[in-house]
A and B are shown apart, each in its own frame.
Chain A
Amino acid sequence: MTRITIGQYYPTNSPIHRLDPRVKLLGTIFYITALLFVNHFAGYGLALIFIATLVKISKVPPRLLLRGLRAILFILVFASALNLFLTPGDTVIFQVGFIRLTMEGVAVAGKMVCRLVLLVLGSTILTLTTSPIQLTDGIEALLSPLKRIKVPAHDIAMMMSIALRFIPTLADETEKIIKAQKARGADFDTGGLITRAKSLIPILVPLFISAFKRADELATAMEARCYRGDINRTKMKQMKIAPSDILATAILISFCVAIILTRFI
Chain B
Amino acid sequence: MINSENLTFKYEAYDASEQTRAALRDVNVKINAGEFVAVLGHNGSGKSTLARHLNALLAPTEGTLWVGGRDTKDPENTWEIRQSVGMVFQNPDNQIIATIVEEDVAFGPENLGVCPTEIRERVDETLAIVRMSKYAAAPPHHLSGGQKQRVAIAGVLAMRPSCIVLDEPSAMLDPSGRREVMETITRLNREQGITIILITHFMEEAARTNRIIVMDEGKVVMDDEPQKIFANVEKMTELKLGVPNVTELAFELKKRGVPMPQDIITIDNFIAAYTSAVGSRSLEAVNGSRSAQASPICEAGSQGEQASPAAAQKSAPILELKNVSHVYNANSVFEKAALSDISLQIFKGEMLTIIGHTGSGKSTLIQHFNALLKPTAGEIFFDGENIHASKKSLKEIRQRVGLVFQYPEHQLFEATIYKDVAFGPTRMGLSEEDIHRQTIEALEAVGLSEKHYEKSPFELSGGQKRRAAIAGVLAMRPEILILDEPAAGLDPRGRENIFAQIKKMHKALGITVVLVSHSMDDAARLTDRVIVMNESRIVCDGTPSEIFARQGQSEFLKKIGLDVPQILRLMTRLNEKDPRFPAQIFSIEAAADALAGAVQP
Contacts and interface: CB of A to CB of B under 8 A. Distances in A.
B424 A222 contact: no
Nearest to A215: B94
A43 B97 CA distance: 45
Closest 8 A/B residue pairs (Cβ) = A185-B427, A205-B413, A221-B95, A217-B94, A236-B106, A224-B87, A236-B119, A232-B113
Interface in B133-179: 139-142, 155-156, 159
For chain B, the bracket of interface size reads: 35 or more
A179 B372 contact: yes
Given A224-B87, A225-B155, A184 B423 contact: yes
Contacts of A182: 372, 398
Contact of A236 (B123, B142, B372, B428): B123
Contacts of B141: 168-169, 172
Contacts of B288: none
B297 interface: no
B578 to A, nearest CB: 47
Contact of A1 (B107, B155, B328): B328
A238 B100 CA distance: 16
Contacts of A218: 94-95, 97
Interface of B: 55, 57, 79, 82-83, 86-87, 89, 91, 93-100, 102-103, 106-116, 119-120, 123, 139-142, 155-156, 159, 328, 334, 367, 370, 372, 395, 398-399, 402-405, 408, 410-413, 423-424, 427-428, 472-473, 476
A181 B110 contact: no
Contacts of A186: 423, 427
Interface of A: 1, 3, 6, 132-133, 161-162, 164-165, 168-169, 172, 176-177, 179-187, 201-202, 205-206, 209-210, 213-214, 217-218, 220-228, 232-238
Contacts of B410: 177, 206, 209-210
Contacts of B99: 6, 132-133, 161, 164-165
A80 to B, nearest CB: 34
B476 A217 contact: no
A169 B93 contact: yes
Contacts of A168: 139, 141
Given A133-B99, A133-B100, 11 more contacts: A165-B99, A180-B403, A184-B424, A185-B476, A202-B423, A217-B94, A224-B55, A224-B89, A225-B156, A228-B111, A236-B110
Given A165-B98, A179-B367, A225-B82, A238 B413 contact: no
Describe B's contact surface by its main secondary structure.
helix
A165 B96 CA distance: 8
Contacts of B428: 185
A6 B100 CA distance: 13
Contacts of A169: 93, 141
Given A180-B411, A184-B476, A187-B395, A226 B97 contact: no
A162 B395 contact: no
Given A214-B93, A234-B110, A236-B103, A183 B119 contact: no
A172 to B, nearest CB: 8
A24 B412 CA distance: 46
